Amino acid sequence: MLITTNHQSILLLCLASSITLSHGAPQQQQQQQRPVYTDHYFQPSKIQKENYDPYIPRPTPIVDENIAPVEYYPSRMNEKLPDAHQLTLTEKQQYIKDAMVFAWDGYRTFSWGSDENRPVSNRPVNTRNGWGASIVDGIDTLYIMGLYGEFNEARDYIANINWDVTHDSHLVQVFETTIRYVGGLLSAYELSGDEMFVQKTVELVDRLLPAFDTPTGIPYQYVNFKTGKGVKSGFPDGASCLAELGTVQLEFTRLSEITGDWTYHHVGQRVYTTFVQLKTNQPGLFPHLINPDTGDAVGDYISWGGMADSFYEYLIKQYVMSGGKDDQMKEMVIQSIRSMKKYLIARPKGHPEIALLADLNGETQTPKMDELACFAPGNLLLAARTIPELTDIEELASDMMHGCYNAWTSTRTGIAPEVFAYMDEEGSTVVGNLTGRREYLSKTYGVFPLVSSYILRPETIESIFYFYRFTHDRRYQDMAWDIFNSIHTYCRANSGFSGIGNVDAYYPNWDDRQESFFFAETLKYLYLLFDDDNDSSEQQQLSLNEWCSSTNTSF
């Protein structure tokens, strides 16, 4: 299905959260022909698995039910890797693969079957209901890196997950479960053709559907897996946040394409009825909290950062997934981006060359930006290359890419903070007058840390991936390598990679956290950025001529 832009014709297939394609995997026929939905969604050709390496013996699971809260530990600096110009693309990719093997072996040794490994204290922790989030979320990264023995081991574990057995609480968060578990399962199916993954996906999604049984179709935040009932959030009015209610649609539609059961697709799409009807002062932008019973906005706080980010991300990805035929989604994309440009874009004082996003409180901009929002440059570029009416935003996307990258290069570690701030054109900041280090960073780079921690987030790397794949400009690979080099230097711990407490310290403490998205997103995007030794997009893994990614590195 061709989507024609003024730049090129792009065949883009948007799958579910974490789906990837590895060239060289021969085709395997499915057991039966799946029914094809009759609207603009379609069923792609299947991918076969090749003969894997022998199984690696499974380690003995270690389970600590009473693990302590996150603690900070003194860190050590690792020796920096060679600079970008000193290595070939293949050598860079091997360093990233080695990082994956190191962190996976640490998880496998100390925390197998738990959701995460604590890479400093070498202990397991369950944060996502105890089903092994790192295994399910990271399984496709194993595959595309050619770690087929580890992939098989993960497959064997997944086959025995019992969704009815939850760690600590029967409450299951719909959003996190969808992007980490549902996406990982669909990914494994796309790569291997193994129907077991579809069966496990259906079992899990069917248990999530009660959350959508609301007057508006907007899901409650949780499902109680013991009672089978949806449970509201603890926000005012039991509100659902924008990102959570708008970040299941790609996964649910893909599951419908695979199974022929279009219940999942229609459940996901029903939420948009509210947003077509919801009128705001900034058309196409919505407050970050919505009452799931009435569809009314709760407050007037608008952001493209945390609690809202992937709602906007999934609009363009769904339009792409429809083959350019979903006119309602196209209009939502155009409207949201036009309003974002009008109401949220800011240029820091003294730095007109970079663009950043502000949050909006009522009618007032707040000059700060989440690292989470650094998905936006890549998302805007995808929109510019897909929708002819938005080709003019490509320069803005580039300026924002520059702004997000400055958040990395400005700190002493070369790592971006969780939230960074800036001085607006009137000279105002969220912290008052700037002095010392903040004043220097603001004048030199246009940004300074506000929340100084880093938890191995991938969003800037994701945007760099899009910029490199669309432009083939090698400077984006150099940017990605510098980021990886900083992560290697400051985050590589005892049995994996740890977040750090202060990105602008010479010797930052480790936070002893390694979330599953480090496997599923951060390392995957970095690996794919160095996948090719030529400019032929047809020879790349996960070519954007065939695939697009969603919020947890969905392909």
The residues carrying an active-site annotation are 176, 309, 418, 459
Please answer whether residues 28 and 190 qualify as being in contact, where contact means their C-beta atoms are separated by less than 8 angstroms.
Answer: no
Please answer whether residues 176 and 233 qualify as being in contact, where contact means their C-beta atoms are separated by less than 8 angstroms.
Answer: no
Instruction: Please choose, from the candidates 458, 460, 464, 463, the residue with its C-alpha nearest in 3D space to the C-alpha of residue 447.
Output: 460
**Which residue is listed with tokens 């020879």?**
539
How does strand 547-548 pair with strand 13-14?
parallel
Please report which residue ranges of 42-131 form alpha helices under DSSP H: 89-110
Q: How far is CA 359 from the centre of its chain?
A: 20
CA distance 304 to 312: 7
DSSP code string of 281-341: SSTT---SEE-TTT--B-S-EE-SSTTTHHHHHHHHHHHHHTTS--HHHHHHHHHHHHHHH
**Which residue is listed with tokens 């004082």?**
349
Residue ranges for the binding site?
551
Which residues neighbour 442 within 8 Å (Cβ) at sequence distance 6 or greater? 348, 349, 350, 422, 423, 429, 434, 448
CA distance 98 to 77: 18
Q: Which two tokens mark 53?
A: 């390496």
**Residue 508 half-sphere exposure toward CB, CA atoms < 13 A:** 30
CA dihedral 457, 458, 464, 467 (to 10 degrees): -130
Give the bridge partners for 224, in sequence order.
171, 229
Instruction: Please choose, from the candidates 504, 483, 522, the residue with its C-alpha nearest in 3D space to the C-alpha of residue 405.
Output: 483
Indicate the helix (H) or strand (E) that contains 133: helix 133-144
CA distance 199 to 179: 17
* Number of separate helices (H) and strands (E) present in the chain: 19, 19
Residue ranges for the binding site for Ca(2+)?
551
Please answer whether residues 16 and 187 qualify as being in contact, where contact means their C-beta atoms are separated by less than 8 angstroms.
Answer: yes
